[in-house]
Amino acid sequence: MTTPKARYDIRRCTMTKPISIYELEGGPHQFFSPFCWAARFAIAHKEIPIDTIRWKFQEGDKIAFSKQGLVPVIVDPNQDGKWVNDSWAIAKYLEETYPDRPSLFGGPQGEVAALLVQKWFNSGPIVALMKIVILDIMKAQTTPELQLWFRETREAKFGKLEEFSTGAAGVPDFQKALEPLRQTLSEYPYLGGKAGPSYADHYIASMFMLAYALSPVKLLEKDDVIYAWRERMMSAYGGMGKNAVGHPESL
Ligand SMILES: N[C@@H](CCC(=O)N[C@@H](CS)C(=O)NCC(=O)O)C(=O)O
């Protein structure tokens, strides 16, 4: 199978002011929010430089202007400082605002397909992944207060974290949950097809970036087509994924 290089023209980046992104950080410099990563990949795909504003849980006051408390939030100085929150809304905003740049969806049909990919991942694989990494997410919080806050808010959703967590023992379940992705990537190098990555690729890659940022657990076997795809995604856009702080031993 041919593996086209992700299109990325760094020169075009200099023609547009950086978009600021409020990005969730653990310590030190571990960017672990999948939703922030999805937005980050999408901005890079549009060949727009990124200005990272580090943000931690419970810093809602810093993004109060967005009238909600979750990241990612982006601020676009090329559009009079317009802000957008929510990774999906950000992808749609970028596609609409920068139609002359490489497309995130490849057209309206691709937009619907990208939404389906997100819904699929969120309806199963995400829980399998959470079981592997949840304790690592808690440990990455930089103060005991934040760790306690993380525990309390997540235990309300998942129950006692030590019981919910499987650590590395959950890898076979996660791999099994990825079967539709595996079968698709056996036929195409990207969810965006032969041309290169699309937003559907960004979304799933962002989940692997969460794991890479915080967890030493190996999620994929080397002979898995998803492994090679993850390598391509982490190397895309100037190696944005590979250059991030994380656990190379987990790859
Ligand atoms: N649907 C939102 C989800 C955003 C989200 O849940 N962000 C998390 C970080 S991964 C957050 O900001 N959490 C802050 C909190 O729970 O207070 C998106 O896709 O952007």
Ligand 1 nearest-atom number relative to CA 85: 20
| Cβ contact 110:191 at 8 Å | no
Q: Is residue 125 part of a domain?
A: yes
For a pocket test of ligand 1, which of 61, 71, 74 has the largest count of ligand atoms closer than 8 A to its C-beta?
A: 71
The residue ranges of the chain whose pLDDT is under 50 are 1-6
CA 174 to chain centre: 17
What is the three-state SS of the chain? CCCCCCCCCHHHHCCCCCEEEEEEEECCCEECCHHHHHHHHHHHHCCCCEEEEEECCCCHHHHHHHCCCCCCEEEEHHHCCEEEECHHHHHHHHHHHCCCCCCCCCCHHHHHHHHHHHHHHHCCHHHHHHHHHHHHHHHCCCCHHHHHHHHHHHHHHHCCHHHHCCHHHHHHHHHHHCHHHHHHHCCCCECCECCCCCHHHHHHHHHHHHHHHHCCCCCCCCCCHHHHHHHHHHHHHHHCCCCCCCCHHHC
Q: Is residue 144 part of a domain?
A: yes
Give the pLDDT of residue 29.
Answer: 86
Q: Is residue 106 part of a domain?
A: yes
For a pocket test of ligand 1, which of 23, 56, 70, 87 has the largest count of ligand atoms closer than 8 A to its C-beta?
A: 70
Q: Is residue 112 part of a domain?
A: yes
| Cβ contact 108:55 at 8 Å | no
Cα(74) to ligand 1 centroid in Å equals 13
Domain residues for 203? 12-245
CA 23 – CA 102 distance, rounded (Å): 23
Q: Is residue 3 part of a domain?
A: no
CA 56 – CA 22 distance, rounded (Å): 9
- The ligand 1 site (C-beta within 6 Å) comprises 24, 33, 35, 57, 69-72, 86-88
Domain containing residue 144: CATH number: 3.40.30.10
Q: Is residue 1 part of a domain?
A: no
Give CA separation, 215 vs 94, 186, 228, in Å: 31, 26, 19
**Ligand 1 atom 10: the closest Cα is on which residue?**
33
Give the pLDDT of residue 15.
Answer: 77
Q: How many domains does the chain have?
A: 1
Q: Is residue 128 part of a domain?
A: yes
Q: Is residue 250 part of a domain?
A: no
